[in-house]
A and B are shown apart, each in its own frame.
Chain A
Amino acid sequence: MRKSLLLAALIVAVAACGGGESTGIEVTDVRVGQPTGPNAALYFTASSDVPDLLIGAETDAAIDVEIHETTMGDDGTMGMQPVESLRVGEGEDLVLEPGGFHLMLIDVERLDVGDEIEVTLIWENEGESTVTATVVEPEDAMGHEGDDS
């Protein structure tokens, strides 16, 4: 009995330790454009000292989540493709923003501007990390670079 308690405590301690180290990936500016159809797009910026791969995501607010890339063709058309993973680290931030990468929330629940949803990001090495996304107006999902005022 005492042994198992000790074991449990040890596990908790290790888990807590793991949690502490897992702040290696810093995820900021987590936002969802207010859904205007069955799907919504989630964006964020992640930085990490050590390389890792985002390999998936989950949220209770949507039936499914896919990693998507929006690309522009030579003829000016744009399309979306699912991608398997996204790389972070090695001195480069992973930036998800309109017109580039996004997490597509499929069959998302009704969300209003200002609502917050929890999303679990799944990293190849890091494991799972849960972040809170804020629902913003679609035009506010754009990044903040440039002269927008």
Chain B
Amino acid sequence: MNVPRARSLPRLVAAVLVSAALVAGCTTAASTDDLLGVVIDPPQSKPSFQLTDTNGDVYDFAAETEGKLTLLYFGYLNCPDICPVHLAQIAETFDQAPDVARDAEVVFVSVDPNRDSPDEIRAFLDNFDSRFVGLTGSQEELEAAQNAAGVPVAVFVGDGEDYTVNHAAQVIAYAPDGLNYSVYPFGVRQSQWNNDLALLAQVK
């Protein structure tokens, strides 16, 4: 009785290994099905645009983010309500999952070039994570970037210094394979960010 059992053990191991391989194989293929954000179907390709980073250097979005999990968000610094929540949630996910953060690029584009200086954008982003990239540009360059990313161009409302900015509220996520599978409107929970960023980081 013992002998057949002993013989079957390698088979069992082999079967387990095959199953594990299948499951592992499935994980990548199925991962975008498990996204909790707003799914973009079919996935969209990453846009090309050039702006200026907070060091004053030219930043080519497609080139700089190639092969990285990339999160693109258009906002402005005088926005106390929704902009900080998005960025703080992403930073929190990065704190919890350093391996996800390592190969990720978070790109915040200020759509309010008249008020937001490069230094102010840098200081704003350092509240969350000093690795976050801040971009600015001329009004024309910013409009081109928003058009390329497929978001409505921000609109300035009100007169004088106290104007507000109506801007796209969603964070656009690109997996390392360069495709946009999902976006994150305002109201996403921390647990959804944690789930989706870990999943998207695997899609290579």
Interface residues of A (CB under 8 A from B): 33-41, 68, 70, 72-73, 75-81, 98-99, 102, 104-105, 137-139, 141-142, 146-149
Contacts and interface: CB of A to CB of B under 8 A. Distances in A.
A73 B168 CA distance: 9
B85 interface: yes
A146 B191 CA distance: 10
B80 A39 contact: yes
B80 A33 contact: yes
Interface string B4-31: 0000000000000000000000000000
A138 to B, nearest CB: 4
Nearest to A99: B186
Contact of B186 (A34, A98, A137, A139): A98
A147 B81 CA distance: 21
Interface in B160-200: 164-170, 185-187, 189-191
A40 B185 CA distance: 21
B190 A139 contact: yes
Contacts, number: 100
Contact of A33 (B85, B92, B124): B85
Contact of A138 (B85, B154, B185, B189): B85
B191 to A, nearest CB: 6
A12 B166 CA distance: 49
Interface size class of B (residues with CB under 8 A): 35 or more
Contacts of B84: 33-34, 36, 138
A98 B92 contact: no
B79 A77 contact: no
Contacts of B152: 73, 75-77
A149 B92 CA distance: 12
Contacts of B120: 37
Nearest to B157: A79
B33 to A, nearest CB: 19
B169 A72 contact: yes
B78 interface: yes
A78 B82 contact: yes
B189 to A, nearest CB: 4
Nearest to B38: A76
Given A37-B77, A76-B185, A99-B81, A81 B168 contact: no
10 contacts: A34-B84, A36-B127, A36-B128, A76-B152, A78-B166, A98-B85, A104-B80, A138-B84, A139-B85, A148-B191
